[in-house]
């Protein structure tokens, strides 16, 4: 009997030893996991600090490059409030346009709230300020479209109501496209991209006719025009990639329609696809580059004001206008 008790005692002791060893192994494994977890947390914290440092550095580059200035931050709120007042002053007799304009006013109020938040921050977020500035400019252009449409409503006869409805639909499409654009990129990438965007100066545009001698002569008569010509200088940019680049000229007629020929030229216009009147490929090597682009139209031009926009790599780099009689 005593022998059996000793045997049972030995077996019980062995079980306890195995359990203790297992607990030690599990404890050791958990210790390693905790250590690795702490290392990963430390590495993540360091990465966040590094990214914040880079963001601050690139934010300073954006501020010091001249693309955005202190005055832009100071006038941003006033410009939005002025824009909101101008929207309030529009006299609208069309219910669908009224709904669209009310939506624009609500969007402007949302931007004003963002500006309040930004201006209460101790450190300027120049990337966000630049984005709000550009969006304000876009809203101002849209408002010009509203004014043009309202003038048409006041001056056109009943036969133009369908055309006005189409214009309202176009405005709604533009609004929907803009609202669907979401900035999902990191601010660091956005700032670098902004720094590499080409810029232009001295942009001009006019209609020309060509004499029998081959000489180009500017004309303001729609029935005498043979081409549309735009000249400008692409400015030096050391950040941009030196390579062959496609330059697009987009011409908008007095009716608000892009001028195209039988061969339609599609290109990336910000976050959506646009239609250009003509494309030219140039070899850009980070230096000032003088350039002229010609558009030979296939249908006669109408009298009125034409808007000429220049695009490169998805960004608008120049804009001007001219009028024909």
User: How far is the C-alpha of 291 from the C-alpha of 280, rounded, in Å?
Assistant: 10
pLDDT at 325: 92
DSSP bridge partners of 204: 231
Q: What is the DSSP string of 147-188?
A: HHHHHHHHHS-GGGHHHHHHHHHHHHHHHHHHHH----S-HH
Global pTM reads 0.42
**Res 20: pLDDT:** 85
Distance CA 146, CA 149 (A): 5
* Torsion sign across C-alpha atoms 194, 196, 202, 203: negative
Where in the chain are the domains? 63-195, 198-324
User: Can you identify the CATH homologous superfamily of domain 198-324?
Assistant: Immunoglobulins (2.60.40.10)
d(CA 147, CA 316): 23
Q: Is 246 helix (H, G, I), strand (E, B) or coil?
A: strand
What is the structure's pLDDT at 293? 96
* pLDDT given at position 206: 95
Return phi, psi of residue 99, to 5°.
-60, -40
Beta pairing partners, 248:
279, 311
Distance, in Å, from the CA atom of 91 to the CA atom of 107, rounded to the nearest integer, reads 19
Which residue in 136, 131, 78 sits closest to 107, CA to CA?
136
Query: Furthest-apart CA pair in the chain: how many Å?
Result: 130
Q: Within its chain, how far is the Cα of 129 from the centroid?
A: 13
Element (H, E) at 44: helix 2-64
Instruction: Evaluate whether 21 touches 29 at the Cβ level (below 8 Å).
Output: no
Q: Would you list the DSSP string of 64-122?
A: HTTSS-HHHHHHHHHHHHHHHHHHHH-----HHHHHHHHHHHHHHHHHHHHHHHHHTSS
Query: Which CB contacts under 8 angstroms, 24+ apart, belong to 261-268?
Result: 261/296, 261/297, 261/298, 262/298, 267/311, 267/314, 268/313, 268/314
Residue 289 neighbours by CB distance under 10 Å: 18
Task: Walk along the chain (325 residues) and give the pLDDT tens digit of each residue.
Answer: 555 555 556 666 777 788 888 888 887 888 888 888 788 877 777 766 666 566 666 666 655 666 666 666 677 778 888 888 887 777 666 677 778 778 888 888 888 888 777 777 766 677 777 777 788 788 778 877 777 776 666 666 456 656 767 777 777 777 777 777 755 555 655 655 666 788 999 999 999 999 888 899 999 999 999 999 999 999 999 888 899 999 999 999 999 999 999 889 999 988 899 999 999 999 999 999 999 999 999 889 999 999 999 999 999 999 999 999 9
């Amino acid at each position: 009997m005593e022998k059996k008790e000793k045997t049972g005692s030995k077996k019980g002791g062995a079980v306890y030893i195995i359990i203790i060893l297992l607990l030690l192994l599990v404890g050791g494994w958990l210790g390693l996991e905790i250590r690795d977890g702490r290392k990963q947390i430390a590495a993540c914290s360091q990465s966040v600090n590094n990214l914040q440092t880079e963001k601050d550095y690139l934010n300073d580059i954006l501020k010091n490059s001249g693309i955005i200035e202190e005055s832009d931050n100071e006038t941003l709120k006033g410009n939005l409030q002025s824009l909101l007042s101008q929207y309030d002053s529009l006299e609208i007799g069309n219910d669908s346009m009224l709904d669209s304009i009310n939506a624009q006013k609500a969007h402007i109020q949302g931007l004003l709230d963002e500006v309040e938040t930004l201006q209460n921050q101790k450190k300027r977020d120049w990337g966000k300020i630049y984005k709000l500035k550009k969006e304000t400019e876009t809203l101002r252009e849209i408002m010009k479209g509203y004014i043009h449409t309202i003038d048409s409503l006041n001056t056109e006869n009943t036969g133009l109501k369908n055309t006005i409805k189409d214009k309202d639909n176009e405005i709604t499409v533009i609004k929907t496209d803009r609202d669907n654009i979401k900035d999902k990129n990191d601010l660091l990438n956005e700032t670098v991209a902004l720094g590499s965007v080409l810029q232009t100066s001295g942009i001009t545009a006019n209609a020309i006719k060509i004499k029998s001698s081959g000489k180009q002569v500017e004309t303001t008569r729609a029935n005498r025009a043979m081409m549309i010509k735009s000249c400008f200088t692409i400015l030096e940019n050391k950040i941009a990639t030196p390579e062959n680049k496609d330059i697009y000229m987009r011409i908008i007629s007095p009716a608000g329609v892009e001028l195209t020929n039988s061969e339609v030229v599609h290109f990336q216009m910000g976050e959506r696809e646009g239609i250009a009147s003509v494309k030219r490929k140039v070899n850009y090597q980070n230096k000032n580059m003088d350039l002229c682009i010609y558009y030979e139209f296939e249908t006669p031009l109408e009298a009125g004001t034409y808007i000429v926009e220049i695009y490169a790599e998805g960004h608008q780099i120049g804009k001007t206008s001219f009028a024909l009689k």
